[in-house]
Chain A
């Protein structure tokens, strides 16, 4: 996971995060965004169910 060929910090002069300079950071950003959307959808469904209960 170290984004440089040599496992030594002396070669690092820029990105120092995991999987830097690969597509994976972008993939993780997309997953994080998808989680947010899914949580809002699921949360809204649950919230509406609670409101429905009050109508009965």
Chain B
């Protein structure tokens, strides 16, 4: 009898060990797979930007976008990841109530030198750090790509890369530390909730782009002497629209990566998924609400524009407008909010254009304006929801979300405006007028986008 009990206990232990191995490998694979899904976002931005460029600039737009992606990863490794863990309590870099923040904590897990290298390189006992870093590096690269589209056809390459690094490896990371971390002061003191990063990724990047555009100025020929705007069409609308659809595909990975899986030492719960705030979430909630938001955004944009560019931008706006509360919206509410975002999209872009801002792809509006709209909408509808999974948690409020929206907007705009001003004073922001008129591909890209032009072909003879 005793032997049977001992055998049974051994089997239970073996099963527990096996279940733990399975859970750990599932958790690692889950985040690992979000990385290539998020790279699809960049494939989308690449196609979107190149299609929105005139043929004479198509490759230089691509070079700029690819280079931003490449620089984002090492710079996020060098210091961006440290910023995320170091800054949650504010500029004091002190430890927060959860004990997973502050300069000392960040230095113990997020430097590429010294003892923290155990968490910053291959380690058989650590199946989490690398995939978390990878997912966050992709968030960072997304911010850079958002800004990238707004400034096409007249920005210098190195100047742009510097701006991308400031945005992707610092500005948005501070916003994430403050509003997307269990110790973040916007969360603990104001109850800010931004599950899908409408404010801390999209609005930060959109308003960063606005700050840059104010120094960069419009493309030659965009505005007439009386201030009226001319439409500068990209050379390939189908490529642009396909790129937008790829961004939508990639966003499933982006939002999937915003979920904390259960059962690991770093998980909030042993038995259920949570948001980064520890509040409950299911992938089913995301499936309901993302799909309804995409549909709503497309329909809302189609009402007024009938234009596939704005319809696919509307799909993106639908997701962004609901991203803050994708965990707690009812699907029909997500649809209605997304419809409203789709409707206001083009008027907001036109409003900006009338003020002399040449945002070549509407990034400031789609990501900046709609991002803030989404953060505030959650304050309207989600008032009273606990913002953290702790006792006496702060709750979501309209005024808390407005504070969050203001902070996110400023965290984007101020660094963008200042850095672009510095680069302008150094002559590193805008290309010379002659280069702009000749076309940037001719000036600085040693290959041709369409060496044979676009030659129509006849049907094959039967």
Q: Give the chain A neighbours of B330 by CB distance below 8 A.
A: 17-20, 24-25, 28
Q: Give the chain B neighbours of A7 by CB distance below 8 A.
A: 384-386, 393, 395
| B:342-384 near A, CB below 8 Å | 381-384
B302, CB-defined interface residue at 8 Å: yes
Are A25 and B393 interface neighbours, CB within 8 A?
no
Are B384 and A2 interface neighbours, CB within 8 A?
yes
Are A31 and B332 interface neighbours, CB within 8 A?
yes
Known: A1-B381, A7-B384, A25-B330. A16 touches B280 (CB 8 A): yes
Are A39 and B302 interface neighbours, CB within 8 A?
yes
**In the complex, A10→B97 CA distance in Å?**
19
Are A1 and B382 interface neighbours, CB within 8 A?
yes
| Contact bitstring A27-50, B, C-beta under 8 A = 1, else 0 | 011011001100100110010000
Are A8 and B391 interface neighbours, CB within 8 A?
yes
B274 nearest CB neighbor, chain A only: A9
Are B339 and A35 interface neighbours, CB within 8 A?
yes
Known: A7-B386, A8-B391, A25-B332. A18 touches B299 (CB 8 A): no
Q: Give the chain B neighbours of A46 by CB distance below 8 A.
A: 306
Are A31 and B336 interface neighbours, CB within 8 A?
yes
Q: Give the chain B neighbours of A1 by CB distance below 8 A.
A: 381-385
**In the complex, A43→B331 CA distance in Å?**
24
**In the complex, A45→B376 CA distance in Å?**
34
A9 nearest CB neighbor, chain B only: B389
**In the complex, A35→B339 CA distance in Å?**
9
Q: Give the chain A neighbours of B325 by CB distance below 8 A.
A: 18
Q: Give the chain A neighbours of B384 by CB distance below 8 A.
A: 1-2, 7
B279, CB-defined interface residue at 8 Å: yes
Are A18 and B328 interface neighbours, CB within 8 A?
yes
Known: A1-B382, A7-B384. A29 touches B299 (CB 8 A): no
B160, CB-defined interface residue at 8 Å: no
Q: Interface extent on B, as a size class?
A: 20 to 34
Known: A7-B395, A8-B393, A16-B328. A36 touches B299 (CB 8 A): yes
A31 nearest CB neighbor, chain B only: B336
- Most chain A CB within a 10 A radius of its CB, from B296, B335, B382: B335
B310, CB-defined interface residue at 8 Å: no
Q: Give the chain B neighbours of A16 by CB distance below 8 A.
A: 280, 285, 327-328
Report the minimum CB–CB distance from B337 to chain A (whole Å).
10
Are A9 and B280 interface neighbours, CB within 8 A?
yes
Are A32 and B335 interface neighbours, CB within 8 A?
yes
Report the minimum CB–CB distance from A40 to chain B (whole Å).
9
Are B302 and A32 interface neighbours, CB within 8 A?
no
**In the complex, A31→B336 CA distance in Å?**
8
**In the complex, A39→B285 CA distance in Å?**
26
Q: Give the chain A neighbours of B382 by CB distance below 8 A.
A: 1, 18
Known: A1-B383, A12-B280, A42-B303. A17 touches B328 (CB 8 A): yes
Known: A8-B393, A12-B280, A39-B302. A29 touches B332 (CB 8 A): yes
**In the complex, A18→B398 CA distance in Å?**
15
Are B386 and A9 interface neighbours, CB within 8 A?
yes
**In the complex, A9→B292 CA distance in Å?**
25
Known: A2-B386, A8-B391. A32 touches B329 (CB 8 A): no
| Contact bitstring B278-291, A, C-beta under 8 A = 1, else 0 | 11100001000000
Q: Give the chain A neighbours of B214 by CB distance below 8 A.
A: none
**In the complex, A9→B459 CA distance in Å?**
64
Report the minimum CB–CB distance from A38 to chain B (whole Å).
9
Q: Give the chain B neighbours of A19 by CB distance below 8 A.
A: 330
B388 nearest CB neighbor, chain A only: A9
**In the complex, A17→B292 CA distance in Å?**
15
B333, CB-defined interface residue at 8 Å: yes
Are A32 and B336 interface neighbours, CB within 8 A?
yes
**In the complex, A36→B296 CA distance in Å?**
9
**In the complex, A35→B391 CA distance in Å?**
40
B395 CB contact (under 8 Å) in A2, A24, A35, A36:
A2
| Contact bitstring B301-343, A, C-beta under 8 A = 1, else 0 | 0110010000000000000000001011111110110010000
Report the minimum CB–CB distance from B418 to chain A (whole Å).
39
- Most chain B CB within a 10 A radius of its CB, from A31, A32, A43: A32
Given contact pairs A1-B382, A2-B385, enumerate 17 new A-B contacts (beta carbons under 8 Å).
Answer: A1-B385, A2-B386, A16-B285, A17-B329, A18-B328, A18-B330, A18-B381, A28-B330, A28-B332, A28-B333, A29-B331, A32-B332, A35-B299, A35-B336, A35-B339, A39-B302, A43-B303
The 9 closest A-B pairs by CB, nearest first: A28-B332, A2-B384, A32-B332, A29-B332, A17-B330, A32-B335, A25-B330, A2-B385, A9-B389
13 A–B contacts, CB within 8 A, in A order? A1-B382, A1-B384, A1-B385, A2-B386, A2-B395, A7-B384, A7-B385, A8-B391, A9-B393, A16-B285, A17-B330, A18-B330, A25-B330
